[in-house]
Structure 1
Amino acid sequence: MKRLLALLLAVCMIGTLVACSSDKKEEQKEPKANEYIMSDNVKEETVIDGVMTDILNDDPILKRTTPSWIETCVLYEVNIRQYTEEGTFAAFEKHLDRLKETGINTLWLMPIHPISKTKRKGTLGSYYSVTDYKDVNPEFGTLDDFKHLMTTAHKKGFKVILDWVANHTGWDNAWITEHKDWYKTNKNGDIVSPYDWTDTAQLNYYNYEMRAEMIKCMQYWVEEMGVDGFRCDHASGVSMSFWNAAVYKLKSINSEILMLAEAGGNTVMTQYAFDACYNDTLYGQSKSVINGVAVSSIQQGMKPSDLYVEGSFPMNYLDNHDKNSYEGTIVENYGKTYEPLLAMSFLAPGMPMIYSSNEEGYDHMIEFFEKDTIQWDDKPKYAPLMAALSKVKTENAALNSTNRDFKVLTKDEDYLFSFSRNKDNNTVIYVANLYDKALSNAAVDLGVENAKCVLHYDGETLDTKETTMSNSDFAKMSYKPYEFYILTVDAE
């Protein structure tokens, strides 16, 4: 039985390659079929917990599908610990109405699980050092508090996804003592840490029983708590056959889940398991604009067709918890380029993501292992722009997350950048000066005679009053530094 199953695994396993992670860490090779530890009662021609075996082609759950709600997803990463002075689910819940007004419709909660004390870094430790996959960090509240947040968020129209850490656990996790064989060990038999993450212990994905339990833990949050998907930490460090099997099990419960991989865009991960990957290329190119980069390089970060299978897409971001804590704030990284680049992240193929405090324009690198509460103003600086961009994103089919249409309108320009997106007779056009100096007599051919300007930023002031503009208006246009226009066209 085991020998036959091993053969099926070797022939039929989906996703036999592992893509490079978003931070270019060393990749983990896919385990060989005969190295799995298998139970004797595993059934053939099905999906077992943790391992993909032979799947019938007519199995509907195995088909790649994209839930309709993901097409208009505006994602927001929530740092519960730092969001409020209390650092609790209940305290964060009070911000839901404000976020809804900003146009956010999907919440990504950084890991909410208890944090290990053994080998802890800093005073509070890393969210990514998990003690118990089926419980919540008592600093954040109780499971009932989490349920209340979920219920309230859903009633207000939000989707909620959890940050899932499958590559490693904390040293206080019960698995350490109860199932040492679930972990990687060195030649001396000691459990090892991945990379320099010494506060964590590396899991062993050659072990079938560990895979099965990990999937059961994920199923718990979907089935019992109603979460709408997962952002998967260091996804490329985990076997693709595991992710494929996990998603099969999860979609058996809720076919409408969102799966986001912390990994650079690639066809292997998006073949079945993941809807989206990190657009690291666009992030890196966006950071270079502050130094006066030619816009031709930015275009490369907006072409996902060769990196993603049909139905999947990139997640466009300018900041996240890692970038903020270790690479600088949005003020340091972008300065006055933030407004036009933020607009670009909403309009580029894929879905946009905003990190906690970005709407504030917070010029502070938030501590990772210590308490470091975000200081909020009554009127966050970028909230009006984010609300306007969210409205454009959700009301125009051309900006659907899975739509790949992308056409550059400017030619041989160093700083003026314009592109259009089209779907179902709906067109959205972006025109921006990404230079710190004014431009004059700059030409763009919109490709249409007339368009409706729905958002204009002149480098200082935001204007969302709808006005009609013609192609001739852009024949010899003058632009202030970082000025941009967003226009829409609906063909009759």
Structure 2
Amino acid sequence: MKKLILLFMGLIVISNCKNQSDKRDINPETVAVSKLKFPEKLHGSTIYEVNIRQFTAEGTFDAFSKHLPRLKELGVDVLWLMPIHPISKAGRKGTLGSYYAPQDYTAVNPEFGTMDDFNELLKKAHDMGFYLILDWVPNHTGRDHKWVTENPEYYIRDAEENVTYESMSPTDVWWDTALLDNSNPETRKAMIEAMRFWVELGIDGFRLDHGCGDKIPLYLWEEARASLDPIKDLFWLAECGHETFILDGSYADEFEVIMREIAEGNQKGDALSDWIENDMFKYGRTALRMTYTSNHDLNSWNGTVFERFGEGYKTFAAFVFTSYGFPLILGGQEVGLDKRLEFFEKDSISWDDPKGFQNFYKSLVKLKKENPAIWAGDAGGFPISIEENENVVGFTREVEGNQVIGIFNFSPENQSVEITNEKVFGTYKDYFSGNSFDINNNPLELKPWEYVVFTK
């Protein structure tokens, strides 16, 4: 952001305000029942990831549904359920197996309950104003999915003509999977029909596991959308980096990697603003980029937010919600989840919240929802840099009178910050602490990992 040409920024801001002029009368609190389409109706929303197995001691749809009032109070809008299908037994990892080795695309894991239980959860979620999307695994099935024997032509073969498996690296091998050949039109047809089953039940979209990559042709999603979007308005979120023209949203993987490197002292704060600038420059601003400090993969395999970000965990969380994209909360993160959840065994989340994290995340969700300046995609204000300290990211974002200013110290040391953009000079109250700050020619002093967010 600090390298952007001011004229270029001004033109984009003006264009963005013009494009959004027909949306500013929308109350973010009622966006769930608006007539907007995906992804526009999620611009001010937060997605919430649900691991049914670990969410409660019971690990069932019914037990999870009891948390819906709390999640409504938290303010999240989209519930992403990790895979709920029966898990293959052949080559099963651990005692309970991987959610991502589906045995049957049109059934539910009996450990979670019955199809009636799922339908009841879906109805309750909809009645409360949530959108519910399913985690979908298009890259592979489990090794005892019926297609392996009934439709072997759906699968990729090795040199010996055996159905092969997913292998991310020599040390990351998923023996419990059977790799699908999505270049085969019959495979794609069967996949889309399985997805149709859930769309007709009433779900609101899909999170596509491994959704774009060397084995997943993007024309699969062109065909899927052509077939399924006419049934109902759907949200399509892909676990991939930037394939945003066909789908509604995608992961901002590199964003989290850079945050981790900053926390480790291997990069400066400027790397985050540089990444945002580059991402908008290369891929535009229309589609939603999902940003996060944690998700199920990061938690289980890379560590908790406390392990990865140390004392800066709240700084990075606040930055995710204000700077760019469409934020994700991993189930349990809002109560300070401080353990790596087991992936193949039962490992329930504790909801005690001894440090009061839920209020912090509730304030973040509220901040996002009530300030169009920091909405995702092209609905939000263009981020404009207001300082030049390499350890600090300071920006202003504005949309038709709503302005959010964020200043973040991404270092374990005190920082003196000179505000270079006189247009933001004034007296403000920090959204989180309520403390007053004078922004003027005098340097702003920030403590280690301190951040301030001003709204107007």
- Sequence identity percentage: 38
- Alpha carbons of 1:106 and 1:397: their partners in 2 closer, same or farther (altered >3 Å)? same
1:243 aligned partner, one-letter code: W
Match of residue 81 from structure 1: 53
Q: Which residue of 1 aligns with 2:34?
A: none
Query: Which string of whole-angstrom CA distances, capped at 9 and with x for unpartnered residues, describes residues 315-353 of structure 1?
Result: 101111111111111110012101111011011221001
Rounded Cα–Cα distance in structure 2 between residues aligned with 1:68 and 1:251: 15
Q: Is the 8 A contact 2:404 2:453 kept in 1?
A: yes
Which residue of structure 2 aligns with residue 204 of structure 1?
A: 181
For residue 445 of structure 2, what is the amino acid of its counterpart?
A: S
Deviation at 1:124, TM superposition (A): 0.4
Partner of 2:288: 313
Q: CA 1:222 to 1:452, structure 2 compared with 1: closer, same or farther past 3 Å?
A: farther
Task: Give yes or no for contact 1:192–1:201 (8 Å, CA) kept in 2.
Answer: yes
Which amino acid is the alignment partner of residue 374 of structure 1? I
Determine the C-alpha separation between the residues in 2 that align with 1:475 and 1:301: 29
The Cα shift of 1:454 comes to: 5.1
Say which is worse superposed, 438-447 or 279-288, in terms of deviation. 438-447
Determine helix, strand or coil for the equivalent of 1:270.
coil
Matched, 1:370 2:342: no
Partner of 2:398: 422
**Residues 82/150 of structure 1: CA separation in 2 closer, same or farther (3 Å cut):** same
Distance 1:249 1:348 in 2: 35
Map of 2:108 onto structure 1:
136
Relative distance call for 1:451 and 1:238 in structure 2 (3 A) is: farther
Q: Which amino acid aligns with 1:281?
A: E
Task: Please state how far the C-alpha of 1:380 moved relative to its aligned partner.
Answer: 6.1
| Distance in 2 between residues matched to 1:221 and 1:393, nearest whole Å | 30
SS in structure 2 at match of 1:253? coil
| Backbone CA RMSD of aligned residues | 2.0
Structure 1 367/107 Cα, relative in aligned 2: closer, same or farther at 3 Å? Answer: same
Alpha carbons of structure 1 residues 286 and 378: separation in structure 2 relative to 1, 3 Å: closer
> Is the counterpart of residue 249 in structure 1 residue 227 in structure 2?
yes
Tell me the residue number matched to 1:36: none
Instruction: Give 1:94 deviation, angstroms.
Output: 1.2
| Separation in 1, partners of 2:39, 2:287 | 11
> Does 1:471 find its partner at 2:439?
yes
Structure 1 residue 141 displacement after superposition: 0.5
Inter-partner Cα distance in structure 2 for 1:370 and 1:335: 27
Residue identity in the other structure for 1:365: R
Larger radius of gyration: 1
1:360 to 1:223, Cα distance in 2 relative to 1, 3 A: same
Q: Which residue matches 1:162?
A: 134
Offset from partner CA, 1:15-44 (integer Å, 9 cap, x none) = xxxxxxxxxxxxxxxxxxxxxxxxxxxxxx
Q: CA deviation at 1:435?
A: 2.1
292-301 vs 87-96, which deviates more?
A: 292-301
Say whether the 8 Å CA contact 1:331–1:362 is kept in structure 2: no
Shift of residue 66 of structure 1? 4.2
* SS in structure 1 at match of 2:42: helix
Task: Tell me the distance in 1 between the aligned counterparts of 2:417 and 2:281.
Answer: 35
Query: Is it true that 1:485 corresponds to 2:447 in the alignment?
Result: no
Counterpart amino acid of residue 117 in structure 2: D
Q: Any conservation in 1 of the 2:237–2:248 contact (CA below 8 Å)?
A: yes
User: What SS does the corresponding residue of 1:72 show, helix, strand or coil?
Assistant: coil
Residue 34 of structure 1 corresponds to which residue in structure 2? Answer: none
1:246 shift after superposition: 0.4
* Aligned residues of 1:270 and 1:309 also touching (Cα < 8 A): no
TM-score scaled to structure 2, two decimals?
0.85
Q: CA deviation at 1:159?
A: 0.9
How many Å separate the matches in 1 of 2:235 and 2:448?
A: 38
Q: 1:300 to 1:449 in 2, by over 3 A?
A: closer
CA drift of 1:122 comes to: 0.6
Give the Cα separation in 2 of the matches to 1:309 and 1:227.
Answer: 29
Matched residue type, 1:191: V
After superposition, the Cα gap between the structure-2 partners of 1:451 and 1:155, relative to the gap in structure 1 and judged at 3 Å, is farther
Cα distance in 2 for residues equivalent to 1:91 and 1:444? 52
Q: How does 1:400-479 map to 2 (within 5 A)?
A: 400-403=375-378, 405-411=382-388, 413-440=389-416, 442-443=418-419, 445=421, 447-450=423-426, 452-453=428-429, 455-456=431-432, 463=433, 465=434, 469-472=437-440, 475-479=442-446
Name 1:147's counterpart in structure 2.
Answer: 119
List gaps (5 residues or longer) in structure 2.
1-36, 168-172
1:278-318 CA-partner distances (Å, limit 9, x unpaired): 11121011112222331111112323323435521311011
Matches within 5 A, 1:48-447: 66-195=38-167, 196-224=173-201, 226-236=202-212, 237-255=215-233, 257-265=234-242, 269-272=243-246, 274-292=247-265, 293-303=267-277, 304-378=279-353, 381-403=356-378, 405-411=382-388, 413-440=389-416, 442-443=418-419, 445=421, 447=423
